[in-house]
Structure 1
């Protein structure tokens, strides 16, 4: 794969994301440029087609993004971006075993701190959806501790994690036991208070803590 050229196209796609509204003609032109560039190679072309459609699906013709990312991974198994975006794509469609496999290949040192935390959250979310509760527990506690310490600039909304916890809170609580669950609630409350998440995730949080006798600070407005 021509990584330098692939990254150049990826930067162009990212620049398009900065516009208020994507121009379908500009996106189509960029797709045609990608398809016609002989220096990209099949792996780079497949990744960029998937990446472009992932971000601009609303103005593009339907495209099998998973197939594109799978092609990129098959041709360049160690490519960081291809594995990551195959993980994103399969997670979004509930294919959690595949997503987990892809996320576990990622070298977190290549990411900013906020992105490291997000990928770790997605890994925990996959374990929860797969009902692998012991694995989820072992990864979740240090993740919450870190999340409670970082600044807002280094933290993205934990949307997928809180949705997974809300969906599986009964089974997860039973699996890890009451003392561990109460400790989880304490750590989660610190994260919520630190990053002011109550108003954004009120529905999810109300499900997670619905049976807690006394909610710790941070769970109420």
Structure 2
């Protein structure tokens, strides 16, 4: 049965899980305002291996959250995943960050709209149906009072980007999930296993995170 190491660092949440056959064995994560990825990521990896009495030799693949999200967070996660894959000769799997966030809730009807804070009045977002299938492409979108006025369906909003606009999007068909703030490596387990079974791997040498927007250095 395949064992996959899952790494999620696209937001302020530094999250690592170990999964067997698509089921999470253990997940370690922490969300801090100052981004603790550089300090915590490899500590978490070592910790979950120690707690499960496994070693890197037991791992069959490494999965990484591909974005969109924080430029720095994505670079750290992808660089770490690449390093492990190179060193261990393992395949690498890339997972859509917004899908991970959408999968944190289950709905009976309506649309799931995960939102990752992209600073100022902008979010990274996409639409998913009740089965977590993407039904609108990923965008960097400016949010105001008129956003999604054309949609009559119930909209389920998750993520730190959604919480930022809770007082802006106030019509009755918006439902907010305050407890779902960041994507987690826990939701990566089933997705990475499905890709592993299909040999849906990315090229370790050439893979780059999905930044969506160009990085701008604030001076």
Please indicate, yes or no, whether the TM-score normalized by the shorter chain is above 0.5. Answer: no
User: As a proportion of its length, which structure holds more strand?
Assistant: 2
Higher relative contact order (CA 8 A, sep 6+): 2
Which has more radius of gyration?
1
User: As a proportion of its length, which structure holds more helix?
Assistant: 1
Q: Normalized against structure 2, the TM-score is what?
A: 0.31
